[in-house]
Amino acid sequence: MTISIQTGKEREDALRSISPTTAKNFHSLLKEIFEKEIAYRKSGADAEYFENIYWCAFLLFNVGDILDVEMMWNAKQMDMDIGAGFDVQYMVGAGVERTIDYCEKQNLKSISKYIMKCKEFGDFEEINEWKKSKQLYFYGE
């Protein structure tokens, strides 16, 4: 079965069909959707599907692949709207300390500094509640 993700609506439908518990099975598709959402934002298209990038990031958080952190950071830095709405928690699905360590080893200093600063401010103290609230928001469960 082929899933088309060319339009914002098709990507929204694809995201809706993937649950947080099955996200790992769709990692490649989620990365592809995320890249398309970045292109969608850069194109200046209407903002009807503006939440797709956050929804996809939430599912990528649930995948927990450390390699996704740089892609997410680049999206967060893209513009002020995304930067403000893109929670730092999305970037630490593999774990806060593990993400910091990875970024340090990969010489991704700006990312590790940002995550460390957010950690100091307590942004990860209630990450389980954050995850529950995002799941409720996107899935109503």
What is the helix (H) or strand (E) element at residue 131, kind and residue range? helix 127-139
What is the arithmetic mean of pLDDT over 47-63?
93
Does the pLDDT of residue 120 top 60, yes or no? yes
Which domain covers residue 110, as residue numbers? 8-139
Q: What is the pTM of this model?
A: 0.94
Query: What's the number of domains the chain is made of?
Result: 1
3-state secondary structure of 108: coil
Q: Residue 75 burial by CB count (10 A; 0-12/13-18/19+): exposed, middle or buried? A: buried
* 69 domain residue, yes or no: yes
* 66 domain residue, yes or no: yes
Q: Please report, as a single letter, which amino acid is at residue 20.
A: P
**Tens of pLDDT along 6-51?**
899 999 999 999 999 999 999 999 999 999 999 988 887 767 888 9
